[in-house]
Amino acid sequence: MGERARYEPGTFSWTDLATPDADAAKAFYGALFGWQAEDLPVPGGGYYSMQRLDGKNVAAIAPQPQAQRDAGAPSAWQSYVTVASADDAAARAGELGGSVHAPPFDVMDAGRMAVIQDPQGAFFMVWEPKNNIGAELVNAPGALCWNELAAAELNSAPDFYGGLFGWTTEPFEGGPMRYLTIKNGQAVNGGMREKQPEEPPNWSVYFAVEDVDAALARVTELGGGAIAGPFEMAGTAKTAVARDPQGAVFALYAGPLEP
């Protein structure tokens, strides 16, 4: 079990879902992963629903802001990276050619964050923790276990993220496509691949499961759908890509997990 009490800067530490039907999403993911939801009120109305496994925060689900709905933004899972300073990270992202989509702001007493778009168009968040570190459990069935960039130009993507977070990358051999493994210091921290022609540049999230085939069948039973896979990985793991009933895309993984 990957229980966490803190994250090193540069580490993926949280994910949340912005969706037009949060109640339906809570029911779907609760049935799929066994999450228990607790709706926390937010200033100005609305709520942020913590999703828990065995009492530990693993993700969150929230109603999609009206401005995003009006703009036609899809329901989507969002990836957060822990930083020492959200202000410094946002400034550095701009220097490296990224865009600061939402300047740094405080999330009550939980932390401080900013929304960044990399030079190729993929969105992610930086998270400066205060009273909330992010996920208290990762790398376990029903929890976040991987983050993956689909890049328009894989040769240049590592330069931006290396300059921003200090990441290094190394080729993953033996797969069906070119793939780079991300390392934050000595820790494995996700991957990068070239995007498919029909998809925009994006960061995707993987959730661990015991059995990918069974989980994908359950997704369909619950009103979601299969997008791709299952795929075998080096004979030791299996993955698949799915969508929930509101259209948010996520991936499933069964295999060896980091501690």
Q: Tell me, what's the pLDDT at 209?
A: 98
pTM of the model: 0.95
Percent of the chain with pLDDT over 70: 98
Mean pLDDT by 10 residues, the chain (259 residues): 92 97 97 97 88 97 80 87 98 98 94 97 97 97 98 96 98 81 95 93 98 97 94 85 97 92
Q: Is 6 helix (H, G, I), strand (E, B) or coil?
A: coil
pLDDT in tens, 45-68: 889 999 999 999 999 999 987 777
Q: Tell me, what's the pLDDT at 67?
A: 72
Q: Which domain holds residue 159?
A: 1-259
Q: Tell me, what's the pLDDT at 236?
A: 82
Length of the chain: 259
Number of structural domains (the chain) is: 1
CA 254/CA 259 separation, integer angstroms: 14
Q: Tell me, what's the pLDDT at 152?
A: 94
Identify which of 168, 75, 80 has the alpha carbon closest to the alpha carbon of residue 124: 80
Residues 6+ apart with CB under 8 A from 82: 7, 8, 9, 10, 11, 12, 13, 126, 127, 128, 129, 133, 134
Beta bridge mates, 138: 2
Q: Tell me, what's the pLDDT at 1?
A: 57
**CA torsion, ordered 90, 48, 17, 125, to nearest 10 deg:** 10
Q: Tell me, what's the pLDDT at 68?
A: 73
pLDDT in tens, 217-238: 999 999 999 999 899 887 788 9
Q: What is the CATH number of the domain that holds 214?
A: 3.10.180.10
